[in-house]
A and B are shown apart, each in its own frame.
Chain A
Amino acid sequence: MPEQMRPEQIQITINQQPMTVAAGSTVAVAIALASLPCRTSITGEPRGPLCAMGICFECRATVNGIAHSRTCQLLCEPAMDIRTQ
């Protein structure tokens, strides 16, 4: 890809591990790129996004200290602190 077409990269942390993602990526996508489930269900199953449009709450995680954030509806921002639940 030519240099000028490469998307701007931003730094975030997921479960305190630093990670680089393209600006404009959703937090749900960043968690998927880290090969992590977003949350563990009440019986211990790993879960990832189901609807990706803010309905199902399967993608919820703690973002900048706010628990149960719907990560599919949030864009990554520089230095964002994302913790899976």
Chain B
Amino acid sequence: MTDSFQTIVVGSGPAGIAAAACAAEAGHRVGIVDDNPNPGGQIWRSLRGQSAPDTSHGGGAAQWYSRLVATSATRLQGWSVFDQPEPGILRAERQGETAHLHYDNLIIATGARERFLPFPGWTLPNVMGVGAIQAMVKGGLPVAGKRIVLAGSGPLLLAVAATLAAARAIIICICEQASLRQLAPFALGLAADPAKIMQGLRYKVATLDVPFHTSTWPVEADGDGVLRSVTISHHGEKQQIPCDYLACGFHLVPNTELAAMLGCRVEAGTVSVDELQRTSISNIFCAGEPTGIGGLELSLIEGQIAGLASAGQDKEARRLFDKKRKASRFADRLAAAFALRPELRKLPQETTIVCRCEDVPYGALKQHHSWRAAKLHTRCGMGPCQGRICGTATHFLLGWNAESVRPPLLPVRIASLASLEAPLNSAISNTQETP
């Protein structure tokens, strides 16, 4: 399959949907590509059996999705972009098919992933991310009557608690590693009340009747092939809690791999952009979480700016700058509130697996001085996830920086790597004819 677009958007979360809608409304031929089966990204992920985004978190999901659907934008769901064989062409794969997508302008809206930190037992089945359990529930996992501990850090803990409560799970407690003092700017009067904190975080949820512990984090998960209990450190005291699921994620990290692979400047883990969301490569824009974790509101604004700028509507894009400045200030406060405490670096023990693809324990890793040395000696980061999980963890644990991203972005079939299209074929034969 070969297709040509004036603007391709990679990622169909809020930033991507806003970007694609704005570029298409401005008259561009737009393609929006995403590896999830349905649009919405993580925060607007659709509920089982529905193809439209979940509108329960507000933020204009329904309005934005209808705006996108009203345009002629081509929506490519379930496609994973894996490389760029030459500038202006992306290749993507979906269960046995390969597509060549030509673009004049590209908007990267690849969102964020959860930060996972290793602790003993974190590889047991039913220990998963906070966003992960929400995605599983939306994907059809019944959790009614299941005992769930939510742990880690960030506003997602509270948002997901709301989803799980609606699915009639038994939420035993929410464990936030940040201290109440850290959260104070959001806590509206120093009450450790989830609903109040949610309000402070601008989430729209019903009151949650769930214990919310600050300065609390998991130190060990136990089980016999599947999770049975979690031990938490609660204001310095250890407490073992039997549970069916432990949902644990330590806030979010930007997905910068595509931008890095394309050669866009990435600094301190975020994609560098100018005020019009343009990266260091002039026809490539970036919007939403990859430019820095900023949440829904900022993602939508950045998406609109990128979509408008991509379609040459700079004047319209500039009208959003004031709103963007305000949303950015909120994002800065958010980052400060959920900064990770240094004690979390002591969670992994010698035998705790850090690289889950290659089963590399912490003891084997920490004797090395860099990510590169550890990779060469232990195969850490060389499995299918290509260091997306352990690279993020070792950045926090050991201060290592994962090196440049090389194609393919994810493991793909040999047939996809070898796939060619007509223009590429003729380019190759031309080279062969000219000695």
Contacts and interface: CB of A to CB of B under 8 A. Distances in A.
Contacts of B242: none
Interface string A35-68: 0010001110111111111111110100110101
Interface in A21-43: 21-26, 28-30, 32-33, 37, 41-43
Interface residues of A, number: 41
B163 interface: no
A82 interface: no
Interface string B108-121: 00000110100000
B358 A42 contact: yes
A7 B125 contact: no
Given A53-B113, A54-B36, A63-B95, A24 B48 contact: yes
A52 B133 contact: yes
Nearest to B45: A53
Nearest to B227: A48
A33 to B, nearest CB: 8
Nearest to A35: B226
B131 A42 contact: no
Contact of A25 (B48, B96, B353): B48
Contacts of A28: 136, 139
A21 B333 CA distance: 43
A37 B116 CA distance: 20
A53 B356 contact: no
Given A49-B132, A50-B389, A53-B135, A74 B37 contact: yes
Given A7-B49, A68-B384, A26 B95 contact: no
Interface in B80-110: 80, 95-96
Q: Counting chain B CB atoms within 10 Å of each CB, which of A8, A41, A55, A74 scores highest? A: A55
A75 interface: yes
Given A73-B78, A74-B37, A41 B123 contact: yes
Interface in B21-47: 35-37, 42
B387 to A, nearest CB: 11
Nearest to A45: B123
Contact of A57 (B133, B140, B384, B413): B384
A13 interface: no
Nearest to B223: A46
Contact of A75 (B37, B128, B385, B413): B37
B140 A24 contact: yes
A51 B127 CA distance: 10
Contacts of B389: 50-51, 55-56
B349 to A, nearest CB: 16
B135 A57 contact: no
Nearest to B125: A48
A72 interface: yes
Interface in B174-202: none
Nearest to A26: B139
A66 to B, nearest CB: 6
B411 interface: yes
A37 to B, nearest CB: 5
Nearest to B390: A56
Interface string B377-391: 000000111001100
B220 interface: no
B225 interface: yes
A57 B49 contact: no
B226 to A, nearest CB: 8
Given A29-B141, A41-B123, A74-B95, A54 B80 contact: yes
Nearest to A24: B49
A63 to B, nearest CB: 7
Contacts of B426: none
A45 B221 CA distance: 15
Interface of B: 35-37, 42, 48-50, 78, 80, 95-96, 113-114, 116, 123, 125-129, 131-133, 135-136, 139-142, 225-226, 255, 353, 356-359, 383-385, 388-389, 411, 413
Interface of A: 7-8, 21-26, 28-30, 32-33, 37, 41-43, 45-58, 60, 63-64, 66, 68-69, 72-75
22 contacts: A25-B139, A25-B140, A26-B139, A26-B140, A37-B125, A41-B356, A42-B359, A47-B123, A50-B128, A50-B389, A51-B129, A52-B128, A52-B133, A52-B135, A52-B139, A54-B80, A55-B388, A56-B389, A63-B95, A66-B413, A69-B95, A75-B37
Given A41-B123, A51-B116, A53-B131, 9 more contacts: A37-B125, A46-B226, A47-B125, A53-B36, A54-B36, A57-B357, A57-B385, A68-B384, A75-B37
